[in-house]
Structure 1
Amino acid sequence: MADTTARRYSIGAMIFHWTIAVAVIWNWRLAENAHHTDDRAQAMAIFADHKALGITILVLTVGRLLWRWTHPVPPLPSDLAGWEKALARTVHVIFYVLLIGLPLGGWMANSLNGRDIDFFGLFTIPALPIGTNEDLGGTIFDLHALGGSIFIYLIALHILGALKHTFFDKNGGIFRMLPFGKVPG
């Protein structure tokens, strides 16, 4: 049940949001850098960090979902049009699907290719017990890349929406997810 008196997200929700946001953008840049290097060893090292950060994003997302289910979220601003509310909810659902599906898909594709995941040199995450199938692993890697591209476009849409609501609609927009700034009552 949403707390209809709260206008901002909780500090915990803010920490999860911004930590995951930075991690996702960083992880996208890692993948881009790996794809654009001509040195195979360097690309593999970058992808190792990409995979470890992906697992970190998965764990943070599970934590964020647990937080969300146990802490009320503020209602959407009342001045939003019906289509804006529907779009906001849809994009958020897709975000969660991608935040869980992309890391799991990457882990699955690595597993199908017989690879463990090195977690920043601290420990190894074993391959999922699903056998090997390099063709299927390659297909999942392709879907993973497509999902990552879709995610970046949705992030841009999310940022544009937050800026629109902050500076044009003046309904609090981005300040709902920051501990400062004005959120109108």
Structure 2
Amino acid sequence: MQEAKRYSGVAMLLHWLIAVAVIVNWRIAEAAENLPREEASAIMSNHFALGMTILILTVLRLAWRLVHRPPPLADTLAGWEKILARVTHTVFYVLLIGLPLGGWFAGSSFGSSIDMWGAFTIPALPVPENPELGKSVFELHGTGGKAMLILIGLHILGALKHMFIDKDGNLWRMLPFGTPRA
């Protein structure tokens, strides 16, 4: 039986939902940055809710990946490309889980719960209130967010390299159209 060359439809859906959610969440945080505290707080409540949604989607994606093996990396990739692909995916998962958990922990350090768009509330973690710690963790969270943006940029550049320089059809592995060759 020949191995699949592209990801499953569920893996593709989760990948693109997470990608769009991360970019929207970054834009939400940017939009709130220089606003007065009350306005920023209202906007950031969407950032927190979307962050928890990203966490849930990422856990679903990892669970799916454990049960449904992704297609193997193409034989045409150089050794360094295979290592870079594995490292990049690992760092993505660390950030996609660590950033929402860090944000939740930081907010909990202020005694804040997370309102999920009025549908329900995720309670604060059972940690002592410590605004100084919360502020420090939010700063780390911001640094992690910047690392995520850099990683996204590199990921996009890699996909473009495969599409236009290598012409190996690698991009089509994560899209429901096109022909993955490798």
Structure 2 CA distance for aligned equivalents of residues 161 and 62 of structure 1: 25
Name the counterpart of 1:33: 31
Where do 1:1-185 residues align within 5 Å? 5-37=3-35, 39-185=36-182
Secondary structure of the 1:8 match is: coil
Question: Runs of 5+ in structure 2 lacking a partner?
Answer: none
Task: Report how far residue 173 of structure 1 moved.
Answer: 2.0
Q: Runs of at least 4 residues of structure 1 off by over 4 A?
A: none
Q: Quick one: distance in 1 between partners of 2:146 and 2:179? A: 33
Q: Indicate how the Cα distance of structure 1 residues 132 and 76 shifts in structure 2: closer, same or farther if over 3 A, else same.
A: same
Identity within the alignment, %? 59
Tell me how far 1:4 sits from its aligned partner: 6.3
1:168 Cα deviation after fit: 1.1
Partner AA of 2:84 in structure 1 = L
What SS does structure 1 have at the residue aligned with 2:166?
coil
Q: Is the 8 A contact 1:116 1:125 kept in 2?
A: yes
Partner secondary structure for residue 168 of structure 1 = helix
Distance between the aligned counterparts of 1:163 and 1:5, measured in 2? 24
> Equivalents in 1 of 2:88, 2:110: separation in Å?
32
Change (3 A) 1:97 1:4: farther
Stretches of structure 1 that go unaligned for 5 or more consecutive residues are: none
TM-fit CA distance, 1:123: 1.4
CA contact (8 A) 2:7 2:173 kept: yes
| Residues matched between the structures, number | 182
TM-fit CA distance, 1:171:
1.2
Q: Secondary structure at the residue paired with 1:146?
A: helix
CA distance in 1: counterparts of 2:170 and 2:161, whole angstroms: 8
Letter aligned with residue 13 of structure 1? A
Contact 2:6 2:172 in 1 (8 A): yes
- Give the distance between the partners of 2:42 and 2:116, measured in 1 at CA: 12
Secondary structure of the corresponding residue to residue 75 of structure 2 = coil
> What SS does the corresponding residue of 1:121 show, helix, strand or coil?
coil
Contact preservation (8 Å) 2:95, 2:144: yes
Specify whether residues 4 and 75 from structure 1 end up closer, same or farther in structure 2 by C-alpha distance, changes over 3 A only: farther
Q: Which amino acid aligns with 2:59?
A: V
One-letter amino acid of the structure 2 residue matched with residue 6 of structure 1: A
TM-score (norm 1): 0.95
